[in-house]
Amino acid sequence: MGRPLSAEEVGSRLRARFGDDVEVADTFGQVAATVTVDRYHDLVRFLRDEPELACDFCDFTGGVDLGPDGGFEVVTQLTSTEHHHDVRVKVRLPSTEPACPTISDLFPTCDWHERETMEMFGIRFEGHPHPVKLLLAEPFEGFPLRKDFPLMSREVKPWPGVPEGEEVEDDE
């Protein structure tokens, strides 16, 4: 029977093993561990193999675009089916040439999640066995979920909400 660990306990175990490479925060009761790129794979392996953490179920792997100043972030949620606690792992990546090691060798489900993150954000996952597009059609250019990707239909079609002769108010 498992024992769910609190955020401080998870944090102390991670800090003991990884030192300054990881920052653990308690976000609304959820543990979020922000780790550097080169320790990402080791951290996920530690979370999976350590008996008191035993995070054996990968919920999802996704990406976040934090804008031109923030870069990208890869977020992975790992859950322990034995202890019933979850850990969210975040990796900060630079805005240009974002690259991150793959965890699909540890969790096979991340294969498809990383393919989707690759095609939507342009983040390269090193060591991925099959880095082809998952959801987008093959000749698609660009990375749709980036903040600077324009929706072409909204560019091409004029907004019908403006009376003729009036200027569009620019709220942004």
Partner 1 sequence: METQLHGGFGQGLVKGLSVTLRTMLHRSVTVQYPHVRPDLPARSRGVIALKQENCTVCYKCSRECPDWCIYIDAHKETHEPAGGGRARSAKILDRFAIDYALCMYCGICVEACPFDALFWSREFDYAEYDIHELTHEKERLEEWTYTVLPPPPLEVGAEAPEEASA
Partner 2 sequence: MAQRGLDVGVITEKTPIAKIKPVRFLLNWGRRYSLWVFNFGLACCSIEFIAASTAKNDFIRLGVIPFAHGPRQADLLVVAGTLTDKMAPVIKRLYDQMPDPKYVISFGSCSNCGGPYWDSYSVTKGVDQIIPVDVFVPGCPPRPEALLHGIIRLQEKIRDEDIQEKFRSGTTAVS
List contacts with partner 1 (CB under 8 A).
157, 159-164
Binding of partner 2 by 1 (CB under 8 A): no
DSSP-derived letter for residue 152 is H
Q: For the chain, what is the total number of helices (H) and then of strands (E)? A: 5, 7
- For the bound state, the minimum distance from the C-beta of residue 146 to partner 2, rounded and expressed in Å, comes to 11
Is residue 140 a contact point for partner 2 (CB under 8 A)?
Answer: yes
Are 60 and 77 a contacting pair, CB within 8 Å? Answer: yes
Between 27 and 153, whose beta carbon lies closer to partner 1? 153
Candidates 19-27, 49-57, 87-95, 142-150 — which segment interacts with partner 2 by CB under 8 A?
142-150
Nearest approach in angstroms of CB 166 to partner 1 is: 9
Cα–Cα distance for residue pair 64/36, rounded to 1 Å: 16
Rounded Cα gap, residues 118 and 101, in angstroms: 12
Among partner 1, partner 2, none, what does residue 106 contact (CB within 5–8 Å per kind)?
none
Query: Which has the closest alpha carbon to 61: 45, 78, 46?
Result: 78
In the bound state with partner 2, the residue whose beta carbon lies nearer, of 41 and 115, is 115
Asked if 60 and 92 touch (Cβ cutoff 8 Å), the reply is no
Give which of partner 1, partner 2, none residue 159 binds (C-beta under 5 to 8 Å, depending on kind). Answer: partner 1
